[in-house]
Amino acid sequence: MTEPMVSLRGLYKIFGARDKDVLHHVENGMGKEELLAQHKHVLGLNNINVDMQAGEITVVMGLSGSGKSTLIRHLNRLIEPTAGEIIVQGEDVMKLSEDGLRTARQEKMSMVFQKFALLPHKTVLKNAGMPLSVRGHTEDACDKEATKWLERVGLKGFENHYPAQLSGGMQQRVGIARALTANTDIMLMDEAFSALDPLIRTDMQDLLLELQKELHKTIVFITHDLDEALKLADHLVILKDGYVVQQGEPQHILLAPNDPYIEDFVSDINRARVLRVRSIMKPLVGGEVPENAHGDVDANDTLESMIARSGGDTSHAYLVKEDGETVGTLDMTELVRALVPRVASHDGERQY
């Protein structure tokens, strides 16, 4: 198995003057409210263990105060941990010198902020080219690379405008172009689309997925919105009070929530629109292909599209294709079962 691009091991963050002195209380099970009440310290992160794979979008989500923004700021050490390891591309970030950390921030990780963080006195072109400028590249080289990425995000012709002349969505496109101009393997996106109107936000999500198909960046994306998380994530990490409640492939989390907190999150999701055929299909056994199939479907089709195709007829079954190969079968009765959220019984077993 390939080594993760980013690996967090036993990561703790406690805010307060005596964070290391009170750490043992948290390690022994003390929670956020107790720590604040008894020791006047705030628990930010509690024993975080997450691997972020190269070329994937890892989405970290949770409500306000869950620790998601604290987590992403540890990757480039904008926040210093109380304890734990932060390994980026095989290198321990905690052991970097001041110069080494500066280099890592400039050349390994770029960041897209919620509030755009554009310099108001510089043009769109100069804002986008800033990562190369601070590395000492020539003005022509900065402008050439920035122009390429501004065009790629749909801002050709706006190079000489100033941020105040752009809409919020356009300003965020400049932020993404700036991150792409940096040409780093890792992009950190902290609530990058949260300040945008819903329609613009959807456009930005689509743009990010389109770029990702081409560039295969390692993206760490922070959000409080489950719909956004399910749309973007290859790997989803859900936080509560500083600890990981559940993590994994988003489709699996939606089908098998392991905690009442997660069940509350996913209960109002339009499952037909989010779930994919691949998540509920029955894999082929021994290469046997049923003869009564009503046609072929793609493994990544939504259940919503399958309901429309079948006309709601639960007697239908389909062959599931992936990259031209038959990989499984879909029974419409199983599809209907998947649309019913799972809930926890009192004895801890999951029930429909």
Beta-bridge partner residues of 2:
none
**pLDDT over threshold 70, residue 347:** no
pLDDT score at 310: 87
**In percent, how much of the chain has pLDDT > 70?**
95
| CA-atom Rg of the chain in angstroms | 23
With tokens 């926040």, the residue in question is 79
pLDDT score at 197: 87
Determine the Cα–Cα distance for residues 345 and 351; give it in Å rounded to an integer. 6
Q: Identify the sign of the CA torsion 254, 261, 344, 27.
A: positive
Q: What is the pLDDT of residues 257-299, one digit of tens each?
A: 988 989 888 888 888 888 899 999 988 876 666 667 888 999 9
Q: Is 208 exposed, middle or buried (0-12, 13-18, 19+ CB in 10 A)?
A: buried
Residues 211, 50 contacting (CB under 8 angstroms): no
Q: What is the pLDDT of residues 183-199, one digit of tens each?
A: 999 999 998 888 788 88
Residues 306, 239 contacting (CB under 8 angstroms): no
pLDDT score at 289: 67
DSSP string, 255-315: HS--SHHHHHHHTTS-HHHH-BHHHHPEEPSTT---TT---EEETT-BHHHHHHHHTT-TT
Rounded to 5 degrees, what angle do the CA atoms 188, 199, 167 make?
70
DSSP string, 307-345: HHHHTT-TT-EEEEEETTEEEEEEEHHHHHHHTSPPEE-
Q: SS3 of 119, please?
A: coil
Q: SS3 of 164, please?
A: helix
Please state, as a whole number, how many other Cβ atoms lie within 10 Å of the Cβ of residue 193: 26
Q: Which of 30-39, 43-52, 70-79, 193-202 has the lowest mean pLDDT?
A: 193-202
Rounded to 5 degrees, what angle do the CA atoms 133, 139, 142 make?
60
What pTM was computed for the model? 0.87
Query: Stretch 228-251: mean pLDDT, rounded?
Result: 94
Provide the pLDDT confidence category of residue 352 given band limits of 50, 70 and 90. very low
Pairing of strands 317-322, 6-15: unpaired
Domains of the chain: 54-77+96-266 (3.40.50.300), 271-338 (3.90.1280.20)
pLDDT score at 350: 43
Between these two residues, 14 and 168, which has the higher pLDDT value? 14
Provide the pLDDT confidence category of residue 219 given band limits of 50, 70 and 90. very high
Q: Hey, what are 113's tokens? A: 């902020």
Provide the pLDDT confidence category of residue 345 given band limits of 50, 70 and 90. very low
Q: What is the pLDDT of residues 88-108, one digit of tens each?
A: 999 999 999 999 999 998 889
Beta-bridge partner residues of 301:
none
pLDDT score at 286: 67
Which amino acid, 165?
Q
Q: What is the pLDDT of residues 97-139, one digit of tens each?
A: 999 999 998 889 998 887 778 999 999 999 999 999 999 999 9
CA distances from 203 to 143, 150, 196, 284 (A): 26, 16, 10, 37
- When the pLDDT of each residue in the chain is averaged and rounded to a whole number, the result is 90
What residues have CB less than 8 Å from 40, skipping those under 6 apart? Answer: 16
Q: What is the pLDDT of residues 4-42, one digit of tens each?
A: 999 999 999 999 999 999 999 999 999 999 999 999 999
**pLDDT over threshold 60, residue 351:** no
Query: Stretch 304-318: mean pLDDT, rounded?
Result: 88
Provide the pLDDT confidence category of residue 150 given band limits of 50, 70 and 90. very high
Query: Stretch 149-178: mean pLDDT, rounded?
Result: 92
